Structure formats: C-alpha cells, structure tokens
Chains A and B, each alone.
Chain A
Amino acid sequence: MTEAVMARALFGITLGYHITYATLGVGIPFLIFLAEVMTWRTKDESYRVFARRLTRVAILLVGVGIVTGTTVAVMLSVLWPKFMEVVGQIINLPFELEVFAFIIESLFLAIYVYGGDRLKPRARIVSSFFVTLGAGLSALLVTDVNAFMNTPTGMTWVHGTVENPNPWLAMLNPSMPYELGHVLASAYMAVAFVFAAAAAKGLLRRNLTSAERTYHRKNLTLTMAVGGVTAVLTAFVGDASGKMMATYQPEKLAAAEGLFHTTTFAPLVIGGIVEPAKQMIIGGIPIPGMLSWLATTQLSGKVLGLDAFPSWTWPALAPVHLMFDTMVGIGTFAIGLAFVYFVLRWRKHAWLFARWFLWVIYAMGFLGMLAIEDGWVFAEEARQPWIIYNLMTVDQAVTTTPGIGWMFGGFMALFTVLLIATVVTLRTYFRNHPLDGELTPSPKVTRPAKGGVAL
C-alpha cells in the first residue's frame, strides 16, 4: 500500500466512523424537538418520555461525536497539508462558522439537559429547537467545504496558487444548495428510520404491557411520518443534484451511471457491472431515455459520457455505479415502506401488526444508515483522482511524512474501544432504566439524573 492509499484509508475510516455519530447527532435533536412539540400539542406524557430517552442517547452520541469531529479537524491538516493550505486561502470560513454553530448546539443542549423538567414546555421546545438548529448548521457548514471540493468557485487558480480569492463566493458554490439539502434531509430520514426500527424492535418483544405497546406504536407512527416525508425530500433534492451534476460535474454523473459515450436519449441502467475495458455495463436493467430525462428533463437531452474526459481522470467505475444504485435503491425502498405503513394504518390492516412487517421496519433502520455511509463513499470515490475537482489531485495533497501505518494502527484501536464502549454504555443504560419504570411516573424519575447527566 502506498502512503497515499494508506492515508485515504485512514481518513476514510475516520470519516465513516464520525459520520455515524454526526448523522445521529444531527437527527436525534430534531426528533427530540418534534417529541417536545407533540407533548405540548397533545398533552400526552408518553412523547415526553420519548424525548427524555432520546436525550440520553443524544448526550452520549454528541459527546463522542465531538471527539471524533476534533479528530477529523486535526487529521485534515495532518494528512492533507497541501489541501488545507488551499483551504486556508479560500474556503476556511465554513470551518470557522461551524465552531460557533457547534457552541450554540452544546450551550442549548446543556440548558435543555440541566434544565430538564424545571423548564416550562415552551422553554423546552425553544431550547431543543436551538440544539437542532446548531447541529444542523454545523453539518451544513462542514458539508459546504465538500461542496466546494466538488465545484470550486470564487477564485482563479494559477499554477497551484489561489488568486483573486472571494471566500464568500466560494461558500456559495454551485453544489452548495443541493449537496447541503441532500445531506440534511437524508440525515433526518436515516435517523427517523433508526428510531422506527427501535420502536419496531420494542413491539417485537413478548410480554409487553399495554402502556409500553401504545408508547412504541405512537413512536413508530411519528418516526415513520418523519422518515417518509424526509425520504421524499431527499429524493427530490437528490434529483436536483443530478441535474446540477450534469451541468457542473458531468464526469461524476457519467461515472455514477456508467455512461461511456456522449449521447441523446441516454438510458438509465439499474445495477450491472461496469466494464471499463469493454466500455459497457454487463447485466443491469436499462430504461431507455430515462437518464436524459433525469439530467435534462427531456428524453432527447444530451448527456456527456466518459469519452468526453481523459481516462486518467475516471474514478473506479464498477464500484461507483453500484454504490450509486445502492443509495438510490435504499432511498426508494424507504419511501415505499413509509407509504405502505400509512396505507396499512389508514385501512387498519392486520399486516400492520404482523411480526414480519415489524422485522422489515427493523431492517430499514440499518439500511438507512448504510445508505448514508454508502452515499458519502460514493461522493468521494466518484471525484477521484481529484481532491478539489479539476484543480488538485489526492496524490498532490497527501502528507510527505512517513509512518502513516502507525497512525492507522493507533486510530483503529481507538475507534474499536470507542465503538464497543458506546454500545455497552447504551445497553447498560437502558437495561438499568426500563421503559416500564418511566411510563409510570414517580417523583424520582422527574429529575434528569443523579449528579447531573452532564454534557
């Protein structure tokens, strides 16, 4: 393995790990906020219990997310120093603003957690809203740097140096609205399905009390509604993002769809193995004209193929196409599942309570997170060999320091420890605080936690 490959592997795994925590850290506050709103509107205490239990998860995951986020922040400079030198000259503002978004998030989280039941319902709604806002903004701002890497603007690039920089214009690059919208909507979607899965798992347990059953039912409906709506939003923004790519990053679109030749009436091929040697997709289901329609809103629209670009700038085609289709496939399945759930609920159909249906919802929880990871890997893989599209390659940006192998080993050990400890902590916590005890209120549980749950 070359140093560059090792550095990519290390950074990729670190980001992949951080993305799990970050996505949950963005989505859970939103669900807490919704649960608080529902408590206020319905005066139903069971939503309050849901909010309280979510808060425990949020505190832990946000905390570990800070740790992994700090790691990513420092590792960027350490592994990709040349890249960060360019970032410092043109696209550092989002990173700076992100710090403040994060401070807002942790301040209001502290207020929400420490205030606990002493806060009035409206104060709880307001503080959880600001936690959601801070978390969302920090995700958006960091993603904005990634958007810049896809479609760099706001400067002239003269022999590897930045000239005439306009940092604000760089922030408002063409990918920005689509990529940010897609990231936020998909995070809400994935997290909603994670907690739908948790509710489904709860309903799958034997010997439930009727209070527990109602609690899980209500949560399942709430999270399925959030998941369904955001899944549709994700798809819409994703589609708009495809059109943006057709204009600004046609090479990425061509790679995602395995389109070798520039053509009108371009087909959309679902699945299949892309064979760069034969310049075709083997297997896969073609839908004639569909790609043209998606990219240009016209069946006869012209879509640029990979032949418009030198082959050394092509990413690894076979995995990129499959990752793209996996992401779209899971998203489509999520929309279908939410739709079926609400139709069943409306018709009061027996399937709604069938164990197999609950198992499908349970599986969707994992699929949603898989789609997030998969989507990010796709976004990065499909831009290869560039780190900043058309300006700087990954090999140019990587550090010259030897010994990445040692770092790799150290961080893998660290992440393993953190992952195991996170799971064990959550399990012990919920084993020691069974739902049954919280649903039947006693004066003791109204305190947030003994000695302060702490940040």
Chain B
Amino acid sequence: MGAAFLWVLVFVYSILGAIDFGSSFWRWVFHLRGNWNAESVAATYVSPTWELINAFLVVIPVALVGLFPAAAYAFGTVLALPATLLLILLALRGAYLQFGYASARFRKHMVYVTGITGLLLPGVFIALLPLTQGGFVTRVGNSYAFAAGAFFSSIPVYLFMAFGITLALYLSALFLARYAQQASAWSAYHRFRRGALWMGPISLALGAVALRVPTPGGLAIVASGLHSLWFVLFLAVSLVCFALGYLGLAMQKRGTPVTKGRALWQLGFGIAQIVLSQFAYAVGHVPWLLYPYLTFANSASNHVMFVSTLLVLIIGLAILTPALLWFRSLFIVDAEYVATHAQEGRNGH
C-alpha cells in the first residue's frame, strides 16, 4: 500500500515534471529560432504551474521519510553529490523563473537558464533509476557508500539520461500541441507535432536499449520481468498505445487545423503509453527499493507512523485535488485564457 502510494507520487511527478521541463526547453528552442508563436504558447503554459509541480516534488522525499525511513537514510547518504547537482539545477530554474517575470531585464536570461536546466533535469532525475537497480552502492557496516566514479562513467546511466531527456521532450511536445490546439495557434501546433514525431521513436529506442543493457551487478529488469505475465501485458499494451498515438500524429497534413478530440487522444495515448511502461518497470523492480539491500518491506516505518503518514497524505491530496482541478480549469484548460495570453506574448515581442 505504501509502496503503491509512493509509486503513484513518482508517476504523477514524472509526467508533470516531464511536461514542465520539456516545455521550457521547447520555449528556449523556439526563442532561439525566433518563432514567437510557438514560444509564447510554451511560455503561457510554463508560467502558472511550476510552483505546484514543485510542491509535488517535495511530497516525494517527505513521503519516503515517513513511510520508509531506512531507505531515506540510505538514499540520503548515497545521494549527497547527485542531489547537490539536482538541487542547484532546480534552484537556478525556479529562481530564474521568478526573476524573469519580475523584471524584463532578466527575461532573456530566464529563457536560457530554464531552457537548459529543463533539458538537463529529466536526465538527472531518471539517473536515479539505474542507481536503485544496484551495482553502484555498497553497504559498509551500518552505512552506505556510493561509487560516484563508476556511476558517472557507466554507459547504461548515460543511456538512461538520454532516454529521460528525449521522453520529456516527446511528452511535452504532445502536451504543448494540444495546448496550441486550444488557442487555435496552428503554426505552433504543427511545430510541436513535428517535435513529437521526431522525439517519440528516438526515446522509445533509447528506452529499449537502456533497459536491456543491465548495470554491472544490478537488477536485470527486462530479463526478470519477462517471466511475469503482468510485465509482458503492460509492455504490450503500452506499445500499442504508442503506435496508435503516433499514427494519429503522423497522419496529418501540415498547416491544417485539427479537432479538440483528436489533439486530446493523441496526448492521452502518449500518457497511457508512459504510465503503462512505468507499470511494467515497477513489476520488474518490485520488491526492491535499493537492490540488493533494501526492499519495501524491510525499510518500512513503524506501523503507527506508516499509517498516519498514509492517512495524512491521502486525505490531504484528496481535499486539495478539487482545488487543484479548479486551478487547472482557471489557467490551464481555459481556452480563453490560453488564447488571450498567447496573443499578448506575441504582441509583446
């Protein structure tokens, strides 16, 4: 139950984060190319959402500490250096978003800083996956040691990073295409559609390779997963979703409008594909939290704390979800807001 909850948090953040980071990257790209149309669509989405997405990020370590304190201890020890890198990138990104909006002087810096960090962050985040698969962490007595050299010179780790980055770009391009569709910004729509067409197969191929090449001394996700019916099922359905979504994207004439429903199901298949492949990955990863030392069971907190944490987080999220949905309806799916703000951005430049 606790493990499932933690996975849900990671799912949600990975999707929200991928969209968030990828969008600022696209914004940067279109800023460099001078495509104000596509840039302003990306900018309109990025502005009101990052703080809430960041709040989600904070829930993950907090939940980990409350549910699996032994794992929090292990990851805390092991992650000192990677977390520093992550925090510095996140901090620069968040702060420059603020500076950029508060003063025109920083606007250009903001586009660059958030674009570059938006590109790198998904790669750094996903590098945590090969780390949990084992091979880079050793237990010394009561403590843990992280083989940073081996980690940063390992090919599978870089494959994962490339996979994470292209996946974020694919997902955010799909999302922004739908966003552009709502504002009826057709040239921007087709820019993002083409971006997704490129990124989709690349990320799929990288993902397949990254998961096939096992980390030395680590968990072989695919090899062990293939014995499980669930793993095969999730993977198969995920591939079908990808194929359907991709066909939908590919079979369109450049420059023509699309219907709302179509933009929506393209995005829907994209998200379904990712969620399902994450399920498959989870099946291959369970029961290990940090292979081969920590399982979900042996790092769980005492019963009272475990239950309280779950209750507090689930009730809290349940109460706040309606508020978040309302917020979403105000700023994200409100077509009028999208249209007027994308327009303003255009005129402003």
Residues of chain A whose beta carbon lies under 8 Å from any beta carbon of chain B: 56, 59-60, 63-64, 66-71, 73-75, 77-82, 84-90, 92-93, 95-97, 99-100, 102-104, 106-107, 110-111, 114, 162, 165-168, 399-401, 403-404, 406-407, 410-411, 414, 417-418, 421-422, 424-426, 428-429, 432, 449-455
Whether a CB of chain A sits under 8 angstroms from the CB of B197 is no
Asked if B302 contacts A89 (CB within 8 A), the reply is yes
Which of chain A's residues have a CB closer than 8 A to the CB of B320?
100, 103-104
Q: Are B48 and A454 in contact (CB under 8 A)?
A: yes
- A401 x B345 contact (CB < 8 A): no
What 1/0 mask marks residues of chain B from 58 to 74 whose CB sits below 8 Å from any chain A CB?
11011101111110111
Neighbouring A residues of B194 by C-beta, 8 Å: none
B1 located at the interface, meaning its Cβ lies under 8 Å from any Cβ of chain A in the complex = no
Q: Which residues of A contact B63 (CB under 8 A)?
A: 96
Min CB–CB distance B293 → chain A (angstroms): 14
Contact A77 B65 (CB under 8 A): yes
Contact check, B76 vs A92: say whether CB atoms are below 8 A apart: no
> Once bound together, how far apart are the Cα atoms of A418 and B94, in whole Å?
10
Q: How far is the CA of A400 from the CA of B74 in the complex (A)?
A: 11
Q: Does A63 contact B51, Cβ atoms closer than 8 Å? A: yes
Smallest beta-carbon distance B177→chain A, Å: 22
Chain B count of residues within 8 A CB distance of the other chain: 74
Given contacts A96-B312, A406-B84, A421-B106, contact A103 B55 (CB under 8 A): yes
Minimal beta-carbon separation of B101 from chain A (angstroms): 4
What is the bound-complex CA distance between A453 and B99, given in angstroms? 11
Which B residues touch A166, using CB under 8 A? Answer: 304
Do A99 and B316 touch across chains, with their CB atoms under 8 A apart?
yes
Nearest 6 CB-CB pairs, A to B?
Answer: A88-B69, A63-B98, A81-B76, A77-B76, A92-B66, A454-B47
| A99–B304 CB distance below 8 A | no
A405 to chain B, nearest CB (A): 11
A400 to B345 CA separation, bound complex (whole angstroms): 50
Residues of A within 8 A of B319 (CB): 100
Query: Which chain B residues border A399 with CB–CB below 8 Å?
Result: 76-77, 80
Bound: A99/B315 CA distance, A: 13
Say which residue of A67, A104, A451 sits within 8 Å of B91 (CB atoms).
Answer: A67
Enumerate 25 A-B pairs (CB-CB under 8 Å) in ascending A order. Answer: A56-B102, A59-B98, A60-B102, A66-B94, A67-B90, A67-B95, A69-B58, A77-B76, A81-B74, A87-B69, A88-B72, A88-B301, A96-B62, A96-B66, A97-B312, A99-B55, A102-B55, A103-B323, A107-B52, A399-B76, A399-B80, A407-B84, A410-B84, A429-B102, A451-B341
In the bound assembly, the distance between CA atoms of A81 and B69 in angstroms comes to 9
B: residues with CB less than 8 A from A are 43, 47-48, 50-52, 54-55, 57-59, 61-63, 65-70, 72-81, 83-84, 86-88, 90-92, 94-99, 101-106, 143-146, 301-302, 304-305, 308-309, 312-313, 316, 319-320, 323-324, 327, 330-331, 341, 344-345, 348
Given contacts A70-B87, A77-B75, A102-B55, are A97 and B102 in contact (CB under 8 A)?
no
**Cβ contact within 8 Å between B70 and A425:** no
Q: B87 contacts A71, CB within 8 Å?
A: yes
B146 touching A103, Cβ below 8 Å: no
State the CA gap A450–B50 with chains docked (Å): 19
With contacts A70-B57, A70-B90, A100-B320 taken as known, whether A114 is within 8 angstroms of B331 at the C-beta atoms is yes
Q: Which residues of A contact B327 (CB under 8 A)?
A: 107, 110-111
Chain A min CB distance to B79 (Å): 6
Q: When chains A and B are docked, how far (Å) is the Cα of A455 from the Cα of B332?
A: 14
Residue of A84, A90, A451 near B305 (CB, 8 A) is A90
Measured in the bound complex, the distance between the Cα atoms of B102 and A451 in whole Å is: 11
- Residue B316 contacts which of A86, A96, A111 (CB distance < 8 angstroms)? A96
9 additional contacts (CB under 8 A) given A70-B54, A74-B83: A78-B83, A79-B76, A96-B59, A96-B313, A100-B319, A167-B308, A401-B80, A404-B80, A414-B91
CB A344 to nearest CB in B, in angstroms, measures 36
Known: A74-B87, A407-B84, A455-B51. A84 touches B76 (CB 8 A): yes
Residue of A with least CB distance to B312: A96
Q: Are B83 and A66 in contact (CB under 8 A)?
A: no
A110 to B47, CA, bound (A): 11
**A167–B327 alpha-carbon span in the complex (Å):** 32
- B83 vs chain A, min Cβ distance (A): 5
**Which residue of the partner chain, among B54, B59, B301, contacts A66 with CB atoms under 8 Å?**
B54
A167 contacts B305, C-beta separation under 8 Å: yes
Taking the closest CB of chain A, its distance from the CB of B210, in whole angstroms, is 25
What is the CA–CA distance of A95 and B87 in the complex, to the nearest angstrom? 19
Q: Is the pair B95, A165 in contact by a Cβ cutoff of 8 Å?
A: no
Query: B97 to A418, Cβ gap below 8 A?
Result: no
Q: Is the CB of B51 within 8 A of A106?
A: yes
Q: Are A88 and B106 in contact (CB under 8 A)?
A: no
Asked whether B62 lies within 8 Å of A84 as measured between CB atoms, the reply is no
Contact B102 A453 (CB under 8 A): yes
In the bound assembly, the distance between CA atoms of A451 and B86 in angstroms comes to 30
Q: CA of A82 to CA of B97 in the docked complex: distance in angstroms?
A: 34
Q: Is A88 in contact with B305, judged by CB distance below 8 angstroms?
A: yes
> Please, how many angstroms separate the alpha-carbon atoms of A399 and B72 in the complex?
12
Give the distance in Å from the alpha carbon of A429 to the alpha carbon of B103 in the complex: 6
C-alpha spacing A108/B75, complex, angstroms: 34
- Pair A450/B316 contact, Cβ less than 8 Å: no
Q: Which residues from B are CB-within-8-Å of A168?
A: 308
Query: Given the complex, which residues of B lie within 8 Å of A103, measured CB to CB?
Result: 52, 55, 320, 323-324
Least CB distance, A429 to chain B, in whole angstroms: 5
A451-B344 contact in complex given A106-B55, A401-B80, C-beta closer than 8 Å: yes
Of all chain A residues, the one with the shortest Cβ separation from B85 is A410
**Residue in B67, B81, B98 whose beta carbon sits within 8 Å of that of A407 in the complex:** B81
Are B90 and A93 in touch, CB under 8 angstroms?
A: no
- Selected contact of B77 from candidates A59, A74, A400, CB within 8 Å: A400
- Which residues in A have their C-beta under 8 angstroms from that of B72? 77, 81, 84-85, 88
- If A107-B327, A110-B327, A114-B331 touch, whether A451 touches B345 (CB-CB below 8 Å) is yes
